[in-house]
Amino acid sequence: MNTELGFDELLSLDSLNDASNGYLALRRLIIYPKGNSRAKGKSLSLFLELVDCKSLATERKVYAEYNLRIRDQILGKHFEMKAEDWFSASCQSFGYSNFLPQRDLNDTKKGFLVKDTVIVDAQIILTSTQKDF
């Protein structure tokens, strides 16, 4: 499942929200271009969040294997980190405070920032739910 959509791939909201289509309707990316409180001014911070996880019953968990990626818009040498985490009502987002150093993000030769645009995507490889008994 890939979250990257462009104008050539417009989808209806019903299509996007239908889980059988494989889109990430219940997840979102949280991006701090200049870093969150742990990486202020040092790195771009990037997190995957399970939306509305507070509605999960306390005994429910959602497991996800995923890739977070910043695209190299020039050479195609993308920067990617893989992760696997258990999301729950108490742990709703995971990711990296120090995902990509600012010096790499702003290096024009690396192609991550082109015309004030950074392309970020998340690829969900596997999801599963568990209920503790």
Give a yes or no: residue 1 inside a domain. Answer: no
Q: Are 98 and 105 in contact (CB under 8 A)?
A: no
Spatial neighbors of 72 by CB under 8 A, at least 6 apart, are: 78, 79, 110, 111, 112
Its pTM stands at 0.74
Total count of domains within the chain: 1
Dihedral Cα 45, 128, 11, 82, nearest 10 deg = 30
Whole-angstrom distance between the N-terminal and C-terminal Cα of the chain? Answer: 30
Amino acid 15: pLDDT? 60
Give a yes or no: residue 2 inside a domain. Answer: no
User: Domain containing 108 — which CATH number?
Assistant: 2.60.210.10
Q: pLDDT tens across 37-87, in order?
A: 999 999 999 998 877 766 667 777 888 899 999 999 999 999 999 998 888
Question: CA 120, CA 106: separation in Å to the nearest integer?
Answer: 15
Whether the per-residue pLDDT at 25 is higher than 70: the answer is no
- Which residue segment(s) compose the domain that 86 sits in? 7-131
Amino acid 26: pLDDT? 62
